[in-house]
A and B are shown apart, each in its own frame.
Chain A
Amino acid sequence: MDLNFSPEENTFREEVRRFVAEKLPGPIRHKVMNGEHLNRDEHVQWQRILHQRGWGGPGWPKEFGGPGWTPTEQYIFEEECAAGGAPRLISFGLKMIAPVLMAFGSPAQQQRYLPKILSAEEWWCQGYSEPGAGSDLASVKTRAVRDGNHYIVNGQKTWTTLGQYADWIFCLVRTDPEAKKQSGISFLLIDMKTPGVTVRPIITLDGAHEVNEVWLEEVRVPVENLIGEENKGWTYAKFLLGHERTNIAGIGIAKRELARLKRIAAAEGRLDEPLFAARVAQVEIDLIALEITNLRVLSAERAKKAPGPEASILKIKGTEIQQAIAELMMQAVGPYALPFKQEDVGPDYAANLATGYCNQRKLSIFGGSNEIQKNIIAQMILGL
Chain B
Amino acid sequence: MNFDFNEEQRALAETVQRFVARDYSFEARRAIRDSSPGWSREVWLALADLGVLALNIDEEHGGLGYGPQETGLVMSAFGAGLLLEPYLSGAVIAPALIRRTASADFQEEWLPNIATGETVVVLAHHDARNEPVTEIGGNLSGRKAVVAHGGCADLLLVSARTAQGTTGLFAVTPGAEGVSLRDYPTLDGQRAADLVLSNAPAARIDAGSKTLAAIEAALDIGLAAVCSEAVGIMEATVAATTEYLKTRQQFGQPIGRFQALQHRMADMLLHLEQARSMSYLAAMHCTNEDTSARQRSISAAKVTIGQACRFIAQNAVQLHGGMGMSDELMLSHWFKRLTTIEISFGDTDSHLQRFARLSRAA
Q: Do A and B bind each other?
A: yes
Residues of A within 8 A of B (CB): 1-6, 9, 72, 271, 274, 277-278, 280-282, 284-286, 288-290, 292-293, 295-296, 298-300, 313, 316-317, 371, 373-375, 377-379, 381-384
* Nearest 9 interchain pairs by C-beta: A378-B262, A292-B277, A281-B356, A384-B256, A374-B266, A377-B266, A289-B274, A277-B356, A285-B300
Which of B1-9, B27-35, B182-190, B193-201 forms part of the interface with chain A?
B1-9
Cβ–Cβ < 8 Å partners of B274 in chain A? 286, 289-290, 293, 317
Residues of B within 8 A of A (CB): 1-5, 9, 69, 242, 245-246, 254, 256-257, 259, 261-263, 265-267, 269-270, 273-278, 280-281, 284, 300, 303-304, 349, 352-353, 355-356, 359-360
7 contacts between A and B (CB under 8 A): A4-B1, A72-B1, A289-B278, A290-B274, A299-B1, A371-B263, A375-B266
Cβ–Cβ < 8 Å partners of B266 in chain A? 373-375, 377-378, 382
Cβ–Cβ < 8 Å partners of A6 in chain B? 1
A3 to B356, CA, bound (A): 23
Cβ–Cβ < 8 Å partners of B276 in chain A? 293
A11 to B67, CA, bound (A): 29
Cβ–Cβ < 8 Å partners of A271 in chain B? 360
A383 to chain B, nearest CB (A): 7
Contacts A282-B352, A375-B262, A384-B262 given: A289-B277 contact, CB under 8 Å?
Answer: yes
A375/B259 in contact, CB under 8 A: yes
B352 to chain A, nearest CB (A): 5
B139 to chain A, nearest CB (A): 41
A248 to B246, CA, bound (A): 30
Interface of A, helix, strand, loop or mixed by DSSP: helix
Which of A288, A299, A316 is the most central at the interface, judged by chain B CB atoms within 10 Å of its CB?
Answer: A288
A384/B245 in contact, CB under 8 A: yes
A300 to B3, CA, bound (A): 9
A111 to B119, CA, bound (A): 74
A282/B270 in contact, CB under 8 A: no
A278 to B267, CA, bound (A): 22
Contacts A3-B284, A378-B262 given: A280-B356 contact, CB under 8 Å?
Answer: yes
Cβ–Cβ < 8 Å partners of A281 in chain B? 303, 352-353, 355-356, 359
Cβ–Cβ < 8 Å partners of A293 in chain B? 273-274, 276-277
A288/B262 in contact, CB under 8 A: no
